[in-house]
Amino acid sequence: MNPSPRGILVLHPSKRKVLLLLAICLSFTAVGVAMILEGEGLSGWFVTTFFGLGLAVSLANLWPGASYLKLTRKGMECRSLFRRWPFIPWETVGEFDVSKDESRSMVVFNRFVPARPRLAAFNRGLVGARDALPDTYGMPPEKLAELLNEWRRRAL
């Protein structure tokens, strides 16, 4: 993926993954409603509420601009479910890497600027780094880490 002539690259979450999650949540929400209608009160409400929230999150991720990763010559900007992270300059981060556990892989990195120490310590224990990106933006995590490291190297 090459940057635009302005030196900006914007990555979005995979529409396919978002639509798959939306279909799963919609199906289970319908099952929960059917459970309520058949008299399975508490468990039906639990299923409906849980997957209904997942449905809302999936729909929100389809909204243009709700989630993205923007790479510029100066740094990166991340937005997840309409919440914008503070701008992260390239000179304030180390190399990007991939953390793998039994359920998923994610791109992780360490910031040199002190950020919430308790959260940073928790994250370091959980994934081996202070910060992690919320998505892989339709790319394998290794490719995304490679892309981010290339942008960082060019900027520095």
Question: Could you read off the pLDDT tens digit of each residue along the chain, which spans 156 residues?
Answer: 555 546 889 999 888 888 998 999 999 999 999 999 999 889 999 999 999 999 998 888 888 888 999 999 999 999 988 888 889 999 999 899 998 877 778 888 888 766 566 665 655 555 556 788 888 898 899 999 999 999 999 888
Q: Which pLDDT value is given to residue 91?
A: 92
Tell me which amino acid residue 90 is. Answer: W
The answer to whether residue 142 sits within a structural domain is yes
The answer to whether residue 141 sits within a structural domain is yes
The answer to whether residue 126 sits within a structural domain is yes
Q: Which pLDDT value is given to residue 61?
A: 83
Q: Which pLDDT value is given to residue 5?
A: 46
As given in the structure block, the two tokens for residue 24 are 């799963």
The answer to whether residue 81 sits within a structural domain is no
Q: What pTM value is reported for the model?
A: 0.73
Domain extent at residue 106? 87-155
HEC string of the chain?
CCCCCCCCEEECCCHHHHHHHHHHHHHHHHHHHHHHHCCCHHHHHHHHHHHHHHHHHHHHHHCCCCCEEEECCCEEEEEECCEECCCEEHHHECCCEEEECCCCEEEEECECCCCCHHHHHHHHHHHCCCEECCCCCCCCHHHHHHHHHHHHHHHC
Alpha carbon distance 96, 129 (integer Å): 10
Q: Which pLDDT value is given to residue 41?
A: 82
Phi, then psi, of 32 in degrees rounded to 5: -60, -40
Phi-psi region of 89 (alpha: psi -120 to 50; beta: other; left: phi over 0): beta
Q: Which pLDDT value is given to residue 30?
A: 94
Q: Which pLDDT value is given to residue 13?
A: 87
The answer to whether residue 4 sits within a structural domain is no
Phi, then psi, of 104 in degrees rounded to 5: -165, 165
Domain total in the chain: 1
The answer to whether residue 107 sits within a structural domain is yes
